[in-house]
Amino acid sequence: MSTTVSPMLVRLAAQRATGALLRDAGALYLVDGEVVHAESPAAPGIDILLAKGGRLPTERWQEAVDRAGAHHRVGRFLVDSGRLASGELEICHLGALFDAAFFALAPGGGPTRFRRGAAHWLGPVKPVRAEAVERETRRRRELLDNLWPRPEVDSAPVTPRTAAGTADITSRQRAVLDLADGVRTPAGIARLLGRPGFHTLIDIRRLAAAGHIETPRASAPPAPAPVPAWVADVSADPDIALLRRLRDALEASL
């Protein structure tokens, strides 16, 4: 029997809820119970993926945000103005959505909150069923654990082992290793490369398993962090009664 990644996400999907599921590690935006967008500090946004991929200059993206962001229609504006083809936007958006959702729903990602009615400025592009997000998140966790069951490497500064040879690494892994300086984290490297965060973790875990980068020692769980500042930017006021009901239901399921 599969383990539920997020009991609250399952409940919100069943309720056909609209709003933002918030965690310290990121947020998922829902419309009628389906996931329409996700974002996380650990995952490059769709703007970075498009810019680094050479598909949309940063200034064109900013133009779309300035002109259509207040109406939650940035995605629609990019297509209607001819900046991107609809299929191209959908593919890139789905990749960014699943990438950010993986990090937002990570174990130990802090308390889960829901802000009813909140909408993202990108606007709906291609909704995804919550069960598909759950299934893909589980698959990605299992894949990483099969590669190298040491999740400490996913967030620690990436430190190369200078004594290790590099003849067996791929060009993608070489690009990651070239940016590893003992200071940059996987999230920072992913942004510099313009690659999804999860794909970067695959390369890092493979490099760690092959002895090309250091695997840090596991540390004690950190103390609970305060609510991150970015949560305040999510639009719409929270429904306190609903938040309490969802919190109580979540706690009862644990």
Residue 154 located in a structural domain: yes
Q: 24-62: per-residue pLDDT in tens?
A: 999 999 999 999 999 999 999 999 999 999 999 999 999
Exposed, middle or buried: residue 197 (CB in 10 Å: 0-12, 13-18, 19+)?
buried
Structure confidence at residue 94 (pLDDT)? 97
Q: What is the DSSP letter of 48?
A: H
Domain count, the chain: 2
**Over residues 71-76, mean pLDDT:** 96
102 plus 181 within the same structural domain? no
What percentage of residues in the chain have a pLDDT greater than 70?
A: 83
Q: 183-227: per-residue pLDDT in tens?
A: 999 999 999 999 999 999 999 999 999 999 999 986 554 444 455
Structure confidence at residue 240 (pLDDT)? 41
Q: What are phi and psi of 30, to 5 degrees?
A: -120, 145
Q: What are phi and psi of 132, to 5 degrees?
A: -70, -40
Residue 27 located in a structural domain: yes
Residue 85 located in a structural domain: yes
19 plus 123 within the same structural domain? yes
Q: Does the pLDDT value for residue 104 go beyond 60?
A: yes
Residue 2 located in a structural domain: no
Q: Taken in order 203, 209, 212, 215, is the CA torsion positive or negative? A: positive
- Domain that residue 56 falls in: 7-138+227-247
Higher pLDDT, 162 or 83: 83
237 plus 127 within the same structural domain? yes
- The upper half-sphere exposure of residue 202, i.e. CA atoms within 13 Å in the direction of its Cβ, equals 12
182 plus 239 within the same structural domain? no
Residue 254 located in a structural domain: no
76 plus 105 within the same structural domain? yes
115 plus 167 within the same structural domain? no
